[in-house]
Amino acid sequence: MMKRRSFMASAAAVILTATPAVAQELSLDQVSQYLNGLQTAQGGFTQINADGTLSTGQVYIKRPGRIRFEYNAPDNSLVMAGGGQVAIFDPRSNNGPDRYPLSQTPLKIILERNVDLARASMVTGHTSDGTTTIITAQDPAHPQYGNIQMVFTANPIELRQWIVTDDVGSQTTMILNDLVRGGRISDIKFNIVSETRNWNK
């Protein structure tokens, strides 16, 4: 069964896409504006788990507060956030989904209604390697929940990577493939109660 720590680590992602040769370091305000403008998005992903294994699937994002990871075979699991909760559905379990507050995972930072990376003590790292801007952020009120490292390219600004470090230091990397912004995504995809009924049928 995918456990909470596994999810919080595996929600991290490295996005293997082409990047420009030289890119200007993005400011925290620029990145905050980009994330606040990212209302819906969907695409494929390849997840590099903390133990080095790989998983693939589809990701759906609907800000604020909603994300859904559908894992392909042989995993066939589902991780979704909605209504302030995260639920992990494991097809091998008969006990229903594991649930816990979204506020206790670093993914909360990019799913907030109003992202403000300039808040005091939120950003712990802000660098550029010449092609990307790398920002590491945490919940300033609860740094013990871990952090999320995000990698962005410029012109236009795009999120290319996020790496989540959980509360015990485990990390996972997820590769977003052809993430498409915009478009309509039904709210039902993020309804944990409805999904629980479907899995129990």
Structure tokens that stand for 129 in this block: 């390697």
Report CA-CA distances (Å) from 79 to 10, 118, 120, 152.
Answer: 11, 29, 31, 24
Residue 196: CB atoms within 10 A of its CB come to: 14
Domain with residue 112: its CATH number is: 2.50.20.10
- Whole-angstrom Cα distance, residue 94 to residue 96? 6
- Whole-angstrom Cα distance, residue 89 to residue 78? 5
Range of the domain at 102: 4-199
Q: What pLDDT, on the 0 to 100 scale, is given for residue 23?
A: 58
Tell whether the model's pLDDT for residue 173 goes beyond 90.
no
Tell whether the model's pLDDT for residue 120 goes beyond 80.
yes
Q: What pLDDT, on the 0 to 100 scale, is given for residue 201?
A: 66
Beta carbons of 172 and 10 less than 8 angstroms apart? yes
Share of the chain above pLDDT 70, in %: 88
Quickly state the pLDDT bin for 99 (edges 50, 70, 90): very high
Average pLDDT, the chain: 87
Amino acid at 147: N
Write the burial class of residue 126 (CB in 10 Å: 0-12 exposed, 13-18 middle, 19+ buried). Answer: middle
Amino acid at 193: V
> What are the beta bridge partners of residue 138?
147
Tens-place pLDDT, residues 26-35 = 999 999 999 9
Write down the pTM of the prediction.
0.85
Look at 18-22, 27-31, 122-126 and tell me which has the smallest mean pLDDT: 18-22
Pairing of strands 158-165, 85-89: unpaired
Structure tokens that stand for 197 in this block: 């009924």
Query: What is the total count of domains within the chain?
Result: 1
Tell whether the model's pLDDT for residue 142 goes beyond 90.
yes
Provide mean pLDDT across the span 20-24. Answer: 56
Tell whether the model's pLDDT for residue 86 goes beyond 80.
yes
Q: What pLDDT, on the 0 to 100 scale, is given for residue 22?
A: 53
